[in-house]
Structure 1
Amino acid sequence: MADATGHDAEGDAVVAQMRSRIDTAVASVPDRDRPLTYFHELDDTLYTVSSASFVGQIYGLFGLTSIADSSGAGDYPQLSAESVITADPDIVFLADAQCCGVTAESVAARPGWGSLTAVRDGRIFPMDEDLSSRWGPRIADQVEAVAAVVQQIPE
């Protein structure tokens, strides 16, 4: 965009700042012996992201793996409650907390979900839905938000 509007230097500065922030956030999270799995809830009908999606690639910077990867249904598949329960994610990210009022408590109250590792260990995290779905310079903010979550989870 900067190049198209004649602001090459300003655009290069923004990109350099974003890359620096992303590199710092990724470096702040130690490598794990076992990768963590996640379910990124886009809405209460259980649409999610795979690791191949743009959001999934951000999670991948931290070694996280989407439970949707085995669905074979593309980058933004819809999972069944049974498949989420069977996959038993280590973390649940809620990209529907602001819009739809989904909370850790409402997730835990879903039939069968109380047994999930993420629920049992208190690893349900609301994410800013604007950062999770509107990309641009705020990508660095999303990367930092994911880093803050992953830093909370013991090895």
Structure 2
Amino acid sequence: MIAPFRALLVAAALLVSPFAATAAPTEITDALGRKVAVELPAKRLVVNFNFEEFTAVAGVAGWQSVVGMSRTAWEGWRPSIFKRYTAVIPNLAAMPDVGLIEDGSFSAEKLIALKPDAFLVADWMFTALGSERERIEAAGIPILVIDYNAQILERHLASTRALGKVTGNDARAEELATFYESQYRDVLARVAKAKVARKPRTYVEVGPDGADTVGVSYATTMWGKILTLLGSENIAVGRLAGASGRMNPEAIIAADPDAIFIAGSSWANKPKAVKTGYEMSEEQTRASLAPYAARAGWADLTAVRAGNVNAIEHGLSRSLFDFVAMQYIGKRLYPEALADVDPAASFKAYHAKYLPVSYGGTWMLPLKP
């Protein structure tokens, strides 16, 4: 009777051990430095933002573990990019939607019903969630904050590594984090060595509504932080009440920027927008940018006279590939220091190595060739 009894014990151990192996949660450090316990490997994830960063780290296969997303932040805001990714990630098309705080559609009930192992959320939405955070965590759903918007190197790196940990792609994430840091530091090292008589004055504006409307500018985050990191005098600093906002048109003219960057994209239902992205030709982008240089009072601006009015993809201001934007802006401010850098080639190479969609279109260029 002893041998059969031992056999039963062994069989029972074999049944229990796979569950025991995944029962102990693993601490993951998110973008805010929070230690979040997640049971790994995570098999059910909900993704709120940074979809392209998730893809770069986890690959197409990683999306098989995604059971929900904030669709508006991708499909709604940039449908042409979403469509391109759906062609290679078929389950995106029918992905359940948990909504978005910004438009009031977010539903904690929908999120909880999906029973995810973790909720990956951008910092700005984590803040906006308020008391909903407690409801989600009380349901046993860990929240991992991912942040590329603040333009803080440490947050970029922590976010990338957190994505790697939660998806089981640590090596890939470490490669990406190391690569990003090297590109970031290379640009800043070149800028530090640039010889200029004074800091170049810069102005950035998001252009979804056309030149007749003054768009949002940035002082301390996203584009604003990038302009400051690159050693320029961002004219929005001290002229906006918060991290971002709309500048007074007269204040822009009085500040007389040396370089102007109008952020465009493939926004839906924005016919007057500055057009950038996969489907745009250089001619289309320049045609959509031209009305900005023709604004009242802009003809005598240093940037306009010098031919330094530029279109640049808004998505390049808060991503794992935003080093490309740093290269482009750096080159427009310090041509000699970045003479051998080709931002478009850098972005094409990044696509070839880390993204499942092919590079194409127009992402950044000056109004005048």
Same fold flag (TM > 0.5): yes
Deviation digits for residues 71-127 of structure 1 (CA, Å, limit 9, x no counterpart): 242111101211111111111001032168642x32232111111111111111111
**d(CA) in 2 for partners of 1:120 and 1:95?**
20
Are 2:320 and 1:137 equivalent residues in the alignment?
yes
Q: Which has the higher strand share?
A: 2
**Which residue in the other structure is 1:27 paired with?**
189
**Which residue in the other structure is 2:205 paired with?**
41
SS of the residue corresponding to residue 127 of structure 1 reads strand
- The answer to whether the Cα contact below 8 Å between 2:218 and 2:236 also exists between their aligned partners in 1 is yes
Are 2:295 and 1:110 equivalent residues in the alignment?
yes
Q: CA deviation at 1:31?
A: 4.8
**Which residue in the other structure is 2:236 paired with?**
68
- The answer to whether the Cα contact below 8 Å between 1:31 and 1:63 also exists between their aligned partners in 2 is no
SS of the residue corresponding to residue 15 of structure 1 reads helix
Cα pair distance change 1:56/1:142, threshold 3 Å = same
Query: Which amino acid in 2 is paired with 1:48?
Result: S
- The answer to whether the Cα contact below 8 Å between 2:200 and 2:333 also exists between their aligned partners in 1 is no
Q: CA deviation at 1:153?
A: 7.9
- The answer to whether the Cα contact below 8 Å between 1:131 and 1:138 also exists between their aligned partners in 2 is yes
Query: Which amino acid in 1 is paired with 2:305?
Result: R
**d(CA) in 2 for partners of 1:114 and 1:5?**
51
Query: Which amino acid in 1 is paired with 2:232?
Result: L
Are 2:333 and 1:150 equivalent residues in the alignment?
yes
- The answer to whether the Cα contact below 8 Å between 1:94 and 1:102 also exists between their aligned partners in 2 is no
- Taking only aligned residues, the RMSD between alpha carbons, in angstroms, comes to 2.2
**d(CA) in 2 for partners of 1:28 and 1:102?**
32
Query: Which amino acid in 2 is paired with 1:107?
Result: Y
- The answer to whether the Cα contact below 8 Å between 2:259 and 2:333 also exists between their aligned partners in 1 is no
Query: Which amino acid in 1 is paired with 2:205?
Result: E
Q: CA deviation at 1:63?
A: 0.4
Are 2:266 and 1:81 equivalent residues in the alignment?
no
**d(CA) in 2 for partners of 1:31 and 1:53?**
26
Query: Which amino acid in 2 is paired with 1:143?
Result: M
**Which residue in the other structure is 1:6 paired with?**
168
Cα pair distance change 1:48/1:98, threshold 3 Å = same
2:180 aligned residue (18, 41, 44): 18
**d(CA) in 1 for partners of 2:312 and 2:240?**
25
Cα pair distance change 1:72/1:130, threshold 3 Å = closer
- The answer to whether the Cα contact below 8 Å between 1:18 and 1:137 also exists between their aligned partners in 2 is yes
Decide which moves more: 34-43 or 53-62.
Answer: 53-62
**Which residue in the other structure is 2:261 paired with?**
93
Q: How many residues align?
A: 150
Structure 1 residue runs of 5 or longer lacking an equivalent are none
**Aligned-residue identity in percent:** 26
Taking structure 1 as the reference length, the TM-score comes to 0.84
**d(CA) in 2 for partners of 1:106 and 1:140?**
28
By relative contact order (CA 8 Å, sep 6+), the higher-ranking structure is: 1
Query: Which amino acid in 1 is paired with 2:167?
Result: T
**Highest Rg: 1 or 2?**
2
Query: Which amino acid in 1 is paired with 2:296?
Result: P
**d(CA) in 2 for partners of 1:35 and 1:88?**
13
